Chain A
């Protein structure tokens, strides 16, 4: 998969996908956005999702049970649900010290959460590993 935009467009092919973004969780910058913005504005949504991702990534309690923090961050993904949609955040592991995650906004009526999780994981990997 070539780049950020291709990765996001691929994400939007998931059934029920409303919007997607690639966000840096240290700065809150949206490196790319596609589709509808949750809450009406992509930049604000990215900054708020970044704050949530940072909190999850920085807590030791959310790491794996064996206590090894080999991966940075130790968290794989975050799922947040409300009455009509899911927000799925998937951390992207990179070989350089970056802090980005894929952010998918998924309609609850026609989205498939399990499928979305698997796909986001695959796409996060392909984005950096090719």
Chain B
């Protein structure tokens, strides 16, 4: 009889610590910058975070309307007034042009969390940090990195809970027109009106002068109600019209899509 050593035990992922690891850092680099109280600009694949003494003070993303768009879209501020304040990097000018400090803070913190959602989305390229001067709006509403990361994870979970399929976040959208359409609340209706097979969530957010994440929330609710779907890739052979029109078949297909997306 030959003695054999038992094979080594397979590594088992400890679920509790694995969860903590995920929760502990959306971006380890950002956590480190917060610890060293860095000031400068963090460039990531889908956006930019501005830091001052380790706290996030401003964020921008090509996927989210900026503070300028939020303030000018509804006439809170004239476009020339924004350019003047931005060129002179003078927060006080915004106030002199009629934006109250409270309104500026509300809009700025809204735009910050909005752009950060995309800037901190999982990316395929590493981030790059440049030390430098603080952003000109740095004093309006600084956000601690830990609070921002916690909110980002909460936002991802919120979208997943409304409708698990993320396809509507980035694709051109089409109206689905179910047979028994539910009533649509005013703000969602404004989004639905602009769904035309070409516009994506970010385009609609820009046109409405509304935070992009809010638009994603509205679109996921519309998707869950069966009113909006991502533009499908060109279909090889469409199903017979009488089956597609059957509300039960349509509902079953949406349930199937949702389950597949889980």
Contacts and interface: CB of A to CB of B under 8 A. Distances in A.
Q: Which residue among B103, B113, B208 has the maximum number of chain A CB atoms within 10 Å of its CB?
A: B103
Interface string B167-200: 0000000000000000101111000000000000
B209 A128 contact: no
B213 interface: yes
B102 A126 contact: yes
A43 B102 contact: no
Q: In terms of DSSP, what is the predominant structure of the interface of chain B? A: helix
A7 interface: yes
Interface of A: 1-4, 7, 24, 26-29, 31, 43, 47, 57-60, 69, 72, 92, 94-100, 126-130
Contact of B210 (A97, A128, A130): A97
B73 interface: yes
B76 interface: yes
B103 A95 contact: yes
B74 to A, nearest CB: 5
A96 to B, nearest CB: 5
Nearest to A26: B214
8 contacts: A3-B141, A4-B109, A24-B110, A31-B109, A58-B188, A72-B187, A97-B208, A126-B102
Contact of B106 (A31, A58, A69, A130): A31
Interface of B: 70-71, 73-76, 100-103, 105-107, 109-110, 113, 141, 150-151, 154-155, 158, 183, 185-188, 208-211, 213-214, 217-218
Contact of B100 (A59, A72, A128): A128
Contacts of A57: 185
Contacts of A96: 70-71, 73-74, 76, 103, 107, 209
Contacts of B218: 26
A27 B217 contact: yes
B106 A128 contact: yes
Nearest to B205: A97
Contacts of B154: 28, 43, 47
B74 A4 contact: no
Q: Which residue among A28, A92, A98 has the maximum number of chain B CB atoms within 10 Å of its CB?
A: A98
B74 A97 contact: yes
Contact of A128 (B103, B151, B158): B103
Contact of A28 (B102, B106, B158, B188): B158
Contacts of A43: 150, 154
A78 B75 CA distance: 29
